[in-house]
Copies of this chain bind each other. A is one copy, B any other.
Amino acid sequence: MSRSATTLAAVPQSLLLSQFVERERESVLDRLDAWLRIPSISGDPGHASDVRDSAQWCADRMVSLGLEHVRLLETDGHPSVYGDWLHAADAPTVVVYGHHDVQPVEPLDEWVSPPFEPTVRDGQLFARGAVDDKGQVLYHLEALRGLFALGDGRLPVNVKLLVEGEEEVGSPHFESLLQRERDLLVCDAVVVSDTGMLSSDTPSMCTGMRGLVVVDVELRTAPSDLHSGSYGGAVPNAAHAAAAVIAALHDEAHRVTIPGFYDRVRELTPAEREALARVPWDDAAFKLEAGVSALEGESGRSTLERIWARPTAEIIGLESGWSAGVRTIVPAVARFRMGCRLVADQQPDEIRELCERWVRDRLPPGVDAHFIRHGAVAPARTPLDHPAVAAAAAAIERVWGRPPLYTREGGSGPEEALGRVLDAPVVFLGVGLPDDGIHGPNERIVLDQLWRGVLAAGELWREMSRTSFEGKR
């Protein structure tokens, strides 16, 4: 079939897009390489200018491929990037969400190749941000470039790209940005590409994500550390106080002991439970992948339920006293960071209050607590019967050759705020794989998944252009 003999509408776009991808592989990799070299670590103030450079790189890219109204959306933190194309009359308008900031890279010595020197090995591209999330933003940009090329400068839908700069620090300014720019971001649906699928031959689609609340706790027993010879045995020890609090956080059944913590947790619906049961799962493989020799979690729940549909309260950081050299002190300060993964319908502010009150109520005499609050993300849940879910499922089936399983993600993003503030359904197109090493050393994207991401994004616009969202918000 020669291209000139058909109209574009009659040819599966993925076919034409696949030719485009075939031809453009090197240039796509060059562009991804350039972006990944910018160490846009949002959690490190020393990298603030890199995050801005990353935003600017993304904006320049949007301009190059033909998007309009391209600009940095400033916040009190790192900037987001916006660009749109709004000339598809009568077609739906879709917001595409991703983020351009990345996680820290410690421990550096565990990286096989340096995190900001992208390296291809065995069909995989290794770099911090390769799949979380620059690679997944880039396949949308490349799909749009392809569609522009194939469609004589036109797209089948109206798109608005929104690429955040603070996702990896809990999106502290994202909701207020959404509120501020609500008119700019009016849409029929939101597509989030910051997630993964079960494996490259078991496509799946996320339909819910756990939320997150992070609370820093500082316990103090004295103005400064005390000499353990002079005081040890007679004064409170801040490290002991912290350990006592942390050790009491879970009961024997590994349930969180904070009163009220589970009150708003939704049990799975029968349809959700059935979808969960269809997901192939192997605890032994999960252990191997995690590198753990034992699993541990809430009694009476499967591993999938534990990581997708059950909330957690865990310590993600802890420090007290002196760790360099031998210094014989009674620590006066202990700091720990509690991270709670939330599920629908838990409310971040309420859980935060419960955590803080619980810590306060448990302190022995002589120990003061001080709390620092970080950004919170509410849990997200997309109903399985929504037409936007069907559109994304069709796009995935066309590219991967089979319908996706419906999964959830245990991780958090700003998806809940997107859906709530923009009053639109949120669907997830994500090509990440379970062992991509996001947030750890040797993060990668499998290149075949990247190319399929370009194709699937193109298919999605075609499906979306046919979808009616009337009465489905």
Contacts and interface: CB of A to CB of B under 8 A. Distances in A.
A307 interface: yes
A434 B234 CA distance: 15
Given A225-B440, A227-B411, A375-B326, A232 B291 contact: no
Interface stretch (A115-123, A236-244, A382-390, A464-472): A236-244
A319 to B, nearest CB: 5
A170 B326 contact: yes
Most buried by B among A103, A239, A315, A318: A318
Contact of A439 (B240, B243, B295, B329): B329
A423 interface: no
A66 interface: no
Given A227-B411, A236-B294, A297-B233, A315 B321 contact: yes
Interface in A370-405: 374-375
A380 B210 CA distance: 57
Contacts of A235: 290, 292, 295-297
Interface in A269-308: 286, 290-298, 303, 306-307
Contacts of A339: 228, 232, 328
Interface stretch (A84-92, A139-147, A156-164, A246-254): A246-254
A223 B109 CA distance: 13
Given A212-B328, A228-B339, A297 B240 contact: no
Given A104-B325, A214-B326, A316-B328, A230 B410 contact: yes
Copies assembled = 2
A349 interface: no
Most buried by B among A41, A44, A223: A223
Interface residues of A, number: 99
A4 interface: no
A316 B325 contact: no
A222 B318 contact: no
A169 B41 CA distance: 37
A272 B404 CA distance: 79
Interface stretch (A49-57, A178-186, A330-338): A330-338
Contacts of A104: 322, 324-325, 327
Contact of A103 (B317, B327, B332): B327
Nearest to A247: B247
A444 interface: no
B318 A320 contact: yes
A244 B334 CA distance: 16
A318 B312 CA distance: 23
Contact of A243 (B106, B315, B364): B315
Contacts of A231: 290, 307, 410
A99 interface: no
16 contacts: A43-B327, A106-B322, A227-B438, A227-B439, A230-B410, A232-B410, A233-B297, A233-B310, A233-B314, A234-B306, A239-B316, A243-B245, A315-B321, A318-B319, A323-B335, A328-B411
